[in-house]
Chain A
Amino acid sequence: MSKNSFKVLRPGINTTFQDLGRDNLYHVGLPFSGAIDKRNFLIANSLITNKEDDAVLEFAYQGPLLEFSGSQTSIVITGNVNFKIIKKDTSEIKGECYRTYNLNNKDCLDIISTEKSVYGYLSVKGGFQINKFCNSYSTTVRAEVGPNDGKKIEIGQTIILNASESSIEKSLEYLNSKIEFIRVIKGTNFDYFSEDSIKDFTSKDFIVSKLTDRMGMRLSGPKIKNLKKTNIKSEGLGKGVIQVPADGDPIVMLSDHGTIGGYPKIAVVISADYDKLVQCPPGEKIKFKIISLTEAENLFKIYTMETKNIINKIR
């Protein structure tokens, strides 16, 4: 009997396989990658009763249109996503996030768009039949590594599923909340910038630019003035690091960032706020607030506990 599968009728804008990311390869130039919104990734796998680190399909803005073939499979979508299921008899079911659905032969899953957010996740019971690269299912498109030959999902391709048949009924009441501030810790070159610019950085709005993807988020707003030097000796970067190039517009490094950079680092987004930051779509205003390392560590504990509590509410 042939395996359960999806045929890709529309790939979506940036649909890739992701998991918790790939460790220990910064020194060769490979970033962590992985699901960019970790909380929504973990919730997706929990709802569908997969292992925590099973691969999902991550999509941005517009998701894929997938036609299912085989016996029954179970799926869930997390994030803030507008989607529908088109049954074989052409009747349509409007999809709700954080609720599992069972698909039957020739049903289509149409992931139309993410709403007032960027990323969403599709988790399928049992996961996908794909291979790990260096211990991870994450795709790093720029380096062409990971499942699917390191590429985004393409039109016409077939995605094979691991599970032969499944039926799951689970749901969760959950709303993705917004926060007033993106909290940051002072960066290693914080003192390169003028006092007025630091004031602007922590009090004025910055707008997420269209030049934003899994590698980085460009911001526009008040220009950040550098008093010392606009280039430093190239050195390591990390998720959430905010660099300011000579033009004065900050760039936040995201999960697929280049591993080395030579612009001064004004600040770093705290781990607890990273998921919220990446979901801000182009045009959205954000405000930064500087906090201490101890506060950031405490906020991370709260964030981790909250994630656990959310997952415990799955029924």
Chain B
Amino acid sequence: MIKNIYNLGDAALYCDFGDTVNKETNLKVINYFNDIREKNITGIKNIAPSYNKLIIYFDLELTNYKKIKDTVENLDISTCESAKTKKVKIPVCFDDEFALDLERVEKKVGLGKKEIVNQLISQKYFCYMTGFIAGMPFLGDIKEKIRLDRLETPRVKVPKGSVGITEQFCNIYTFESPGGWNIIGNSPKKVFTKDPTKLTLIDPGDEVEFFEISKKEYSKFNEQK
């Protein structure tokens, strides 16, 4: 359930689900998100779910904080079906050309390349949220053995398709962007499409698995261009 509701400026509701980031809390956020979307509440323009927060933007010409807060507080979420989720497999090439921060990761976690890759591809991930840049999935939790901090100085340009890790999470850079994650590979798969009926390949709640491909397979498969 929502622990606290605040206003974020004059046109958004900030719903806090508690401090812990785990699958259980996140699934509650996703359920609220799906339910509010389905209910088509007057004045709501946009909803941003994240690990443990839900931010609801509304049209100040049509409604206000108090009205939306009352509506959200009185939602009956127990009747809401849990999110429909899917399984997605993502090819990743870990060639040195793409593994921009491999050396740093090796040094920090004390493992060799083969072991780092194995740790990453040997399990399934849960998608907590998508965003920052269009379609970027925030996946977790990665094995403790390969967890490390962000880069001290973020890159000005992380190449499109880059696969990065930081703390308990991994992600895919759907567009070239500034960023501070440790880049260890690149996926040729288009994770953000321009098909309006299905913009993203990975949605919150989905199960994601990586599989390793060679550089040759990468070039054959490249959708990023």
Which of A's residues lie within 8 Å of B, judged by CB?
Answer: 23-30, 32, 133-134, 140, 142-145, 185, 187-188, 233-238, 240-241, 258-261, 265, 268-271, 293, 296-297, 300, 304
Contacts and interface: CB of A to CB of B under 8 A. Distances in A.
Nearest to B11: A271
B34 to A, nearest CB: 10
Interface stretch (B92-100, B104-112, B124-132): B124-132
Interface stretch (B53-61, B73-81, B213-221): B53-61
Contacts of A260: 48, 50, 129, 131-132, 138
A236 B53 contact: yes
A29 to B, nearest CB: 4
Given A142-B133, A268-B9, A293-B7, A23 B45 contact: yes
B46 A24 contact: yes
Contacts of A269: 9
Contact of B47 (A27, A261, A271): A27
B199 A233 contact: no
Contacts of A233: 21, 50-53
Contacts of A185: 7, 9-10
A238 B138 contact: no
Contacts of B9: 185, 238, 240-241, 268-271, 296
Interface of A is mostly: mixed
- Among B21, B33, B130, max chain A CB count under 10 A is at B130
B219 to A, nearest CB: 22
B194 A234 contact: no
B132 A259 contact: yes
A28 B131 contact: yes
Interface of B: 6-12, 14, 21, 33, 37, 45-55, 57, 60-61, 64-65, 129-136, 138, 174-175, 177, 192, 194, 196, 199-200, 203-204
A27 B65 contact: no
A269 B10 CA distance: 9
A268 B8 CA distance: 7
A300 B10 contact: yes
Given A26-B47, A32-B46, A259-B131, A143 B57 contact: no
Given A145-B194, A234-B138, A297-B64, A29 B10 contact: no
A241 B64 CA distance: 18
15 contacts: A24-B46, A26-B48, A28-B135, A28-B200, A28-B203, A32-B45, A142-B134, A143-B135, A188-B8, A233-B51, A233-B53, A238-B12, A268-B9, A271-B60, A296-B9
Contacts of A24: 37, 45-47
Given A23-B46, A236-B49, A236-B53, 6 more contacts: A24-B46, A27-B49, A29-B200, A185-B9, A236-B131, A268-B9
B176 to A, nearest CB: 9
Nearest to A268: B9
B42 to A, nearest CB: 13
